[in-house]
């Protein structure tokens, strides 16, 4: 038995503003980016940098640098919106700048948070926002550049755990053994736990309805949007010569790739169905020979047997984001 991380919560595999052409967001603003440090600078005052942004549910987490000084009227803002309405976060008080900003949207409600350390966030307001989003951007007024050190977009504020019966208790503990949250599995054998901050080091304890412990995980780093599955199987997945662990799932480097799956358990497995799941609209197919592809494969694995699986991704023309190579491998 094992708890497997089957999906990384990142909606975009890379920092959009570091990986995209300037023409996709800079407009007429003066922008500088340093690929080696991963930092981007907005130099122009009162000129927006703005990207296309149409995700429904998400978490945007920004790590930025505070201005060394601010005078009356100076500000910096991160916003989202459409043609009718914008929502965002703004720093305008030199004594109350925050290095970390976070905006999340879930079930048509959008919420903003700020933090000095990326661990302890303050809720600074929210609103119902049922209309589709179209854009996300930044704007500033200050004699210094606005520098952001990191920018990430995740699938949501929850970590999801799957494959325990309904009403199984799931307890989340931090690395000091402090109980953080308790949740129940629903009738779809799924449990969602809201994370107050990203990359939480801790572990999970699962209990039956009488309180008896069923399973305790190893120490894990839990991230926004991650999906974990409790598996009765013991497989090893290898990609590009590296073992894909439950701590570090891989994102494919190309649209045609090969992965291997090995039975490292103590018994043979029969009629194992291998498929994929993705939040996007790209076509992902699997094959044993690299010639005949299908959405799923049904395989037998004797002890220590290893099989190569060819993965082919056909990108949907309407998909303009970075999630094309990010999908969940499903083994049943």
**CATH number for the domain that contains residue 179:** 2.60.40.10
Q: Is 33 exposed, middle or buried (0-12, 13-18, 19+ CB in 10 A)?
A: middle
Is residue 241 scored above 80 in pLDDT? no
Handedness of CA 9, 15, 16, 21 (dihedral sign): negative
Q: How many domains does the chain have?
A: 3
Alpha helices in the chain (DSSP H): 16-19
Q: How far is Cα 138 from Cα 48, in angstroms, rounded to an integer?
A: 6
Q: Identify whether the C-beta of residue 82 lies closer than 8 Å to the C-beta of residue 73.
A: no
Q: Is 180 domain-assigned?
A: yes
Q: Identify whether the C-beta of residue 103 lies closer than 8 Å to the C-beta of residue 79.
A: no
Q: How far is Cα 10 from Cα 293, in angstroms, rounded to an integer?
A: 27
Report pLDDT digits (tens) over 250-304: 555 556 778 888 888 888 989 988 887 776 677 888 999 989 999 898 989 999 9
Single pTM value for the model: 0.77
Q: Which two tokens stand for residue 128?
A: 């119902």
Q: How far is Cα 167 from Cα 220, in angstroms, rounded to an integer?
A: 23
Distances (CA, A) of 252 to 11, 13, 215, 236, 284: 14, 10, 31, 17, 12
208 and 280: one domain? no
Range of the domain at 323: 234-331
Report pLDDT digits (tens) over 2-58: 788 878 888 988 899 999 999 999 999 999 999 889 999 999 999 999 999 999 999
41 and 138: one domain? yes
Can you give the pLDDT at residue 325?
Answer: 44
144 and 130: one domain? yes
29 and 135: one domain? yes
Q: Is 267 helix (H, G, I), strand (E, B) or coil?
A: coil
Q: Is 9 domain-assigned?
A: no
């Amino acid at each position: 038995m094992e708890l497997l991380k089957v999906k990384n919560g990142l909606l975009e595999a890379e920092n959009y503003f570091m990986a995209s052409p300037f023409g996709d967001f800079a407009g007429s603003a003066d922008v500088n980016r340093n690929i080696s440090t991963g930092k981007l600078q907005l130099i122009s005052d009162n000129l927006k940098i703005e990207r296309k942004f149409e995700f429904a549910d998400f978490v945007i987490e920004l790590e930025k640098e505070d201005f060394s000084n601010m005078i009356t009227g100076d500000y910096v803002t991160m916003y989202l919106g459409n043609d009718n309405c914008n929502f965002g976060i703004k720093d305008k008080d030199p004594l109350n700048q925050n290095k970390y900003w976070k905006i999340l949207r879930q079930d048509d409600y959008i919420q903003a948070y700020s933090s000095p350390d990326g661990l302890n966030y303050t809720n600074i307001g929210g609103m119902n926002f049922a209309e589709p989003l179209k854009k996300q951007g930044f704007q500033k007024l200050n004699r210094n550049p606005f520098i952001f050190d990191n920018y990430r977009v995740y699938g949501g504020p929850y970590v999801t755990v799957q494959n325990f019966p309904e009403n199984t208790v799931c307890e989340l503990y931090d690395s000091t053994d402090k109980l953080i949250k308790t949740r129940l599995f629903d009738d779809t054998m799924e449990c969602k736990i809201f994370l107050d901050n990203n990359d939480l080091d801790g572990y999970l304890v699962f209990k039956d309805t009488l309180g008896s412990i069923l399973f305790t995980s190893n120490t894990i780093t839990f991230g926004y949007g991650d999906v974990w599955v409790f598996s009765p199987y013991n497989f090893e997945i290898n990609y590009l010569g590296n073992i894909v662990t439950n701590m570090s799932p891989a994102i494919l480097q190309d649209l045609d790739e090969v992965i291997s799956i090995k039975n490292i358990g103590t018994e043979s497995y029969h009629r194992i169905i291998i498929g994929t799941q993705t939040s996007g609209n790209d076509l992902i197919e699997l094959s044993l020979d690299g010639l005949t592809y299908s959405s799923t494969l049904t395989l037998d694995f004797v002890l220590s047997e290893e099989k190569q699986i060819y993965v082919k991704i056909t990108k949907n023309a309407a998909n303009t984001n970075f999630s094309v190579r990010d999908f969940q491998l499903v083994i049943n």
